[in-house]
Structure 1
Amino acid sequence: MTDRQDSEPRILVRTLSDLARIAGVSAGTVSRALAGNSLVNAETRARIVALAREHGFRPNQMASGLRRQKTGVIGIAIPLGHDQRQQISDAFFMTLLGHLADALTERGYDLMLRRVIPERDEDWLDRFIGSGMIDGVLVIGQSDQFDRIEDAADGYRPMVVWGNHREGQRHCVVGSDNRLGGRLAAERLIAGGARHIYFLGDVTAVEFDARFAGAADVAQRMGVGITALSSHLSTDRLEAEVAANLDRAFAPGDAIFAATDTLAVASMARLRAMGVECPGLVRVVGFDDLPLAAHTTPALTTVRQDIRAGAFAMVDLLMRRLAGEDTESIVMPPHLIVRKSA
């Protein structure tokens, strides 16, 4: 008599994601369990290993397969957990993507781009990693996904992230010292007479939160008020939110620190529509130093982060990690670029 279990068709398991679905865990947990990582409890590790054997999936099969069979493609993911309606056409994304494309092309790689809404796909990073279509991953921005990126980094080496660095974090990151950048912005505004700073940006995003924290450090030390006004970057609500946030009677000593140049430009446009002089009554500082910053009216004072150097550094670190090296994160110093708005 044929055993019923033997007669049933075996579920085809080719990727970490396939095995993760059967086990009811994330692909990152599967990767760590098969690698013997102690972050996964012994009972779960044993169950996953047993399932891998049952379905003919070898430990680290995907990782070793990627090493043997290069795809020649690097995945680029843009997670938008904090601002789900933001578009890739955002000026910052387009600037960074252009430099990443240049750097990858020089290395002989193509790129695969994904705009990710984590609320709709909780396993977005594990799925990308386990797809078998890419050799490595570049993540643009941590959004509100810091913990998820940390989780993936435990079992996946060829990943580099553009974002903010926290002491003790496990994922490899390239980015500016956002807290220092926030301090530079606040110091410039206060030196110009600011007595209250309005910060425009969504502080649920890791980088924006660090910029606000840096500005708050200086404001509190100098006895200056500071208020965070939540403003998103999605084109369908940016102008309306900026207008609502700036719908107030400004007084001498009020100033605006925008988390991005895009928000700064929108703020100056709104001030102009309100008949508020910039920098006559309200001074404005942005962040990024995108190409548009020097061509606004008035020209935008902003905190520069070297986006081109950061993009090339990300690709260099990724190539080294693909070669098996351990790499440290790179935190670039920001620089205040003084123009007419503050």
Structure 2
Amino acid sequence: MEGRSLEKPARIRTLADLAKLAGVNTATVSRALADSPLVKTDTKARIQALAQEHGFRPNQMAKRLRTQRTGVVGVVVPLGHEKRQHLSDPFFMAMLGHLADALTENGYDIMLSRVIPNTPDWLEAVIGSGMLDGVLLIGQSDQFEAIERAAAHYRPLVAWGSHWPEQAHCSVGTDNFAGGRMAGDRLVAGGARRVAFLGEVRTPEISQRHAGLCAALQSAGLAAPLQFDVHLASDVMEQEISAHIAKVGDAIDGIFAASDVIAMTTLRVLADRGVAVPGQIRVIGYDDIPLAAQTVPRLTTVRQDIATGAKAMVEALFARIGGEDAASVQMTPVLVGRDSA
């Protein structure tokens, strides 16, 4: 049959093949595909068009060997304090979504790890794998010392969490003490006089929230809050909260929960027991995850700006990957007043 051939152009596999077809050397092809200004505009356009026509894709592994970059960032969730907590936790999902958007928009792939620390050098094993350009930690858990040791020799490491004086590692988070104090002041202003805190205090963030609540109650001349451990694992949380509520009966009139997930579960437990919120007990959470505005009653909480925090984490990581310094960031929390307190 006469006329134009319908056969597809032969697929080109190497830079050398593309250079031969274009009539230039391999260095020019490499620069053209990288959109280098060192190559004339018309030459660059011709080489890029030939690459597209012949289905040529640069070898990413070879490129990474040349640049000593993997193009991958590790997003690690350490769970030393709560081994049964899941990545499906709404806070983790919200933070992970914002981190993934910021990283992929800048051309990076993500390696996600849920880590149960079982040796002191677990973080050194992650960063020493050679697979990552940097590491983002969603939370410090009870692994502050392990993070400090790693940060002493590994710069591209940024953690979501609390900041302490003389801290070596770069962290991004809110002023948890201030947030706890805001919650305490709100409860007191609403008439609460006997307050309980629901949450373990073994992690830096939650211990600071508890300390802020204690300061608010002390300033108001009230007794220190009752403190009850509540695990963040969904399979035991409701039972633990129910047991604590049954133990204190009507001896409390205010609850500050260490997280929105704990607070939302508390609302359900109180509803099942016929306890009116906020009429009998006022409830405040922490985080302001999207679901907090959907509860009945709508949850009063302390907002951590997760989107801004995730952006700050990625910016700090990129600066450190590039050899620059990046200081820790401590954001100001905001009390979000709704219906539960």
TM-score range, shorter chain: 0.7 to 0.9
- Could you report, residue by residue, the CA deviation over 1:127-163 in whole angstroms, capped at 9, with x for unpaired residues? 0100001000001111100011011110000000000
**Structural mapping, 1:2-21, within 5 Å:** none
Q: Structure 1's 253 and 124: CA in aligned 2 closer, same or farther, altered over 3 A?
A: closer
Name the aligned partner's letter for residue 247 of structure 2.
Answer: R
Equivalent residue, structure 2, for 1:307? 306
Residues 98 and 67 from structure 1, CA distance in 2 versus in 1: closer, same or farther, beyond 3 angstroms?
farther
Cα deviations by residue, 1:262-319 (Å, 9 ceiling, x for unpaired)? 0000001001111111001000000000000111000000000100000011000000
Residues 19-58 of structure 1: per-residue CA shift (max 9 Å, x gap): xxxxxxxxxxxxxxxxxxxxxxxxxxxxxxxxxxxxxxxx
Amino acid at match of 1:96: M
Distance 1:170 1:97, change over 3 A: same
Deviates more, 1:278-287 or 1:232-241: 232-241
> Where does residue 210 of structure 1 map in the other structure?
208
CA distance in 2, matches of 1:300, 1:252: 22
Find the residue that maps to 2:247 and give its secondary structure: coil
The 5 A counterparts of 1:184-333 are 184-225=182-223, 226-251=225-250, 254-333=253-332
1:318 and 1:128 mapped to 2: Cα distance?
16
1:71-105, Cα deviation, whole Å (9 max, x unpaired): 10000111111111001110000000000000001
Say if 1:76 and 1:138, in contact at 8 Å, map to a contact too. Answer: yes
Does 2:74 align with 1:75? yes
Q: How many pairs were matched up? A: 277
Q: Distance in 1 between matches of 2:189 and 2:252?
A: 11
Q: If you compute each CA radius of gyration, which structure gives the higher value, 1 or 2? A: 2
Q: 2:164 aligns with which of 157, 163, 166?
A: 166
Aligned residues of 1:99 and 1:308 also touching (Cα < 8 A)? yes
Match of residue 134, structure 1, among 132, 140, 147: 132
> Alpha-carbon deviation of 1:247?
1.2
Provide the C-alpha distance between the structure 1 equivalents of 2:71 and 2:116, rounded to a whole number of angstroms: 26
Return the alpha-carbon distance in structure 1 between the equivalents of residues 222 and 263 of structure 2. 20
Q: Percent identity?
A: 54
Give the AA of the match of 2:201.
Answer: V
Structure 2 portions without partners, runs of 5+: 1-63
CA contact (8 A) 1:285 1:301 kept: yes
Work out the CA distance in 2 between the residues paired with 1:211 and 1:67. Answer: 47
Cα distance in 2, alignment partners of residues 249 and 321 from structure 1: 49
Query: Which residue does 2:123 correspond to in 1?
Result: 125
Q: CA deviation at 1:251?
A: 3.5
Between the aligned partners of 1:201 and 1:138, the Cα distance in structure 2 is: 25
CA RMSD of aligned residues (A): 1.5
Q: Equivalents in 2 of 1:90, 1:138: separation in Å?
A: 18
The amino acid across from 1:183 in the alignment is R
TM-score by length of 2: 0.79
CA shift at 1:66, angstroms?
A: 8.9
Any conservation in 1 of the 2:194–2:251 contact (CA below 8 Å)?
Answer: no
SS at match of 1:299: coil
Deviation (angstroms), 1:122: 3.0
Deviations 1:152-180 (A, max 9, x none): 11000000000011111110000000000
Cα deviation for residue 253 of structure 1 reads: 5.9
> In 2 relative to 1, CA 156–341 (structure 1 residues): closer, same or farther, beyond 3 Å?
same
Letter of the aligned partner of 1:258 in structure 2?
A: A
The change in CA–CA distance for 1:266 and 1:67 in structure 2 (over 3 A counts) is farther
Alpha carbons 2:135, 2:156 under 8 Å: kept: yes
2 CA distance for matches of 1:331 and 1:131? 30
CA distance in 1, matches of 2:324, 2:65: 16
Q: Is the 8 Å Cα contact of residues 258 and 264 (structure 1) preserved in structure 2?
A: yes
Specify the code of the residue in structure 2 equivalent to 1:242. I
Q: Distance in 2 between matches of 1:333 and 1:66?
A: 42
Q: Which moved more, 1:148-157 or 1:65-74?
A: 65-74
- For residues 82 and 276 of structure 2, the distance between their equivalents in structure 1, rounded to whole angstroms, comes to 30
1:337 aligns with 2:312: no
Whole-angstrom CA distance in 1 between matches of 2:249 and 2:280: 8
Partner of 2:152: 154
1:121 Cα offset (Å): 3.6
